[in-house]
């Protein structure tokens, strides 16, 4: 990677996820917190109209509006499409102030704790995650790389990107502990980037536990799409915990358990996320992997490979 010039911290890509929104607003009041000598850090409230309305979005999910064909549309009346195009013109490649790395802040009703979302397993991103994991061992690292999803998220505008997802927190509400943890994570990312840019060695966990996305399951539904079951009480809040074939997963409104009938043990995340009911997702399935993070001298990672 050529030297980092510009980083963008984004909150409010979803307008009712208040931790990221309030943190970006705090950073805008106290810009000194973001200042580092070797690069510039900008902030962005992703979806201001949805923030004002207190909803996830007005017309459609902004975080699905950044595919090339959506950005090329000329007559789409959806607010979020126009907003995505404006963000792309400003921060995207070839934009007014193109950014090298986007940190996108989200909140979830699922029991995510502090989750890093990696869209790519390039060396630079892995070394960053390994560093943050060493600072805060409770962090979980989720990989959506190779998930088959096209590059349509806001952070896909930048060559390097990191999602931070914290929970459980009800949409439309704040939670002080998660707010503080999110702030500490963002500042640790900036400190890492400063050390990286100035060639200072930094410590990194040699092994990283990765929850690799392998698929998603919807709730049992009627042919018309009505819900027929809920998350089983034994599974509620059990994000990152092993789900074996035959384990109870759902429970019907009549009280009958429904077992997980997949072929192998998986590690669910985003269990019972409120915003995913409309997407037909009851939980995401991951495989738990341990990867070795390559480092050279004293914890200093070698330069990142291009994506």
Q: Identify which of residues 14 and 83 has a Cβ nearer to Zn ion in the complex.
A: 14
- Restricting to residues 94-113, which ones interact with Zn ion according to CB under 5 A? 106
Q: Identify which of residues 11 and 247 has a Cβ nearer to Zn ion in the complex.
A: 11
Q: Least distance to Zn ion from the beta carbon of 23, Å?
A: 13
Q: Identify which of residues 15 and 159 has a Cβ nearer to Zn ion in the complex.
A: 15
Q: Identify which of residues 56 and 123 has a Cβ nearer to Zn ion in the complex.
A: 56
Q: Least distance to Zn ion from the beta carbon of 106, Å?
A: 3
Spell out a b/e string for 176-213, using b for 16 or more CB atoms within 10 Å of the CB, else e: eebbebbbebbebbbebbbbbbeeeebebbeebebbbb
- Restricting to residues 6-35, which ones interact with Zn ion according to CB under 5 A? 14, 17
Q: Identify which of residues 17 and 80 has a Cβ nearer to Zn ion in the complex.
A: 17
When asked if residue 155 is in the footprint of Zn ion (CB under 5 A), the reply is: no
Q: Least distance to Zn ion from the beta carbon of 68, Å?
A: 22
Q: Identify which of residues 17 and 247 has a Cβ nearer to Zn ion in the complex.
A: 17
Dihedral angle, C-alpha 201, 6, 57, 146, nearest 10 ° = -50
Residue of minimal Cβ distance to Zn ion: 106
Question: Residue 159: how many CA atoms within 13 Å on its side-chain side?
Answer: 18
Q: Least distance to Zn ion from the beta carbon of 142, Å?
A: 13
- Restricting to residues 38-67, which ones interact with Zn ion according to CB under 5 A? none
Q: Least distance to Zn ion from the beta carbon of 46, Å?
A: 9
Q: Identify which of residues 17 and 122 has a Cβ nearer to Zn ion in the complex.
A: 17
Q: Least distance to Zn ion from the beta carbon of 150, Å?
A: 18
Q: Least distance to Zn ion from the beta carbon of 273, Å?
A: 9
Size of the site for Zn ion (CB under 5 A): 3
> Alpha-carbon distance 15 to 248, whole Å?
34
**Residue 75 is encoded by which pair of tokens?**
């007559």
Q: Least distance to Zn ion from the beta carbon of 138, Å?
A: 20
Q: Identify which of residues 21 and 129 has a Cβ nearer to Zn ion in the complex.
A: 21
Residues forming the site for Zn ion (CB under 5 A): 14, 17, 106
């Amino acid at each position: 990677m050529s030297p980092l010039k510009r980083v963008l911290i984004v909150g409010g890509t979803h307008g009712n996820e208040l931790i990221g929104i309030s943190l970006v607003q705090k950073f805008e009041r106290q810009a000194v917190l973001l200042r580092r000598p070797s690069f510039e850090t900008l902030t962005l409230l992703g979806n201001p109209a949805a923030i004002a309305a207190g909803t996830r979005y007005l017309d459609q999910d902004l975080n699905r509006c950044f595919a090339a064909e959506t950005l090329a549309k000329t007559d789409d009346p959806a607010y979020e499409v126009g907003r995505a195009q404006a963000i792309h013109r400003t921060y995207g490649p070839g934009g007014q102030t193109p950014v090298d790395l986007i940190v996108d802040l989200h909140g979830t009703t699922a029991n995510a704790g502090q989750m890093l979302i990696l869209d790519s397993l390039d060396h630079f991103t892995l070394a960053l995650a390994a560093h943050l994991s060493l600072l805060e061992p409770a962090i979980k690292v989720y990989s959506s790389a190779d998930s088959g999803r096209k590059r349509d998220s806001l952070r896909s505008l930048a060559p390097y990107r990191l999602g931070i997802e914290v929970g459980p927190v009800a949409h439309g509400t704040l939670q002080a502990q998660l707010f503080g943890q999110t702030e500490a994570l963002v500042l640790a990312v900036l400190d890492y980037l400063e050390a990286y840019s100035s060639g200072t060695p930094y410590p990194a966990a040699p092994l990283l536990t990765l929850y690799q996305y392998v698929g998603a399951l919807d709730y049992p539904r009627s042919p018309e799409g009505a819900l027929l079951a809920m998350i089983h009480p034994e599974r509620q809040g059990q994000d990152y915990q092993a789900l074996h074939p035959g384990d109870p997963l759902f429970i019907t409104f009549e009280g009958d358990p429904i077992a997980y009938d997949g072929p192998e043990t998986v590690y669910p995340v985003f269990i019972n996320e409120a915003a995913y009911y409309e997407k037909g997702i009851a939980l995401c399935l991951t495989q738990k992997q341990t990867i070795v993070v390559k480092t050279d001298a004293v914890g200093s990672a070698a330069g990142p490979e291009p994506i």
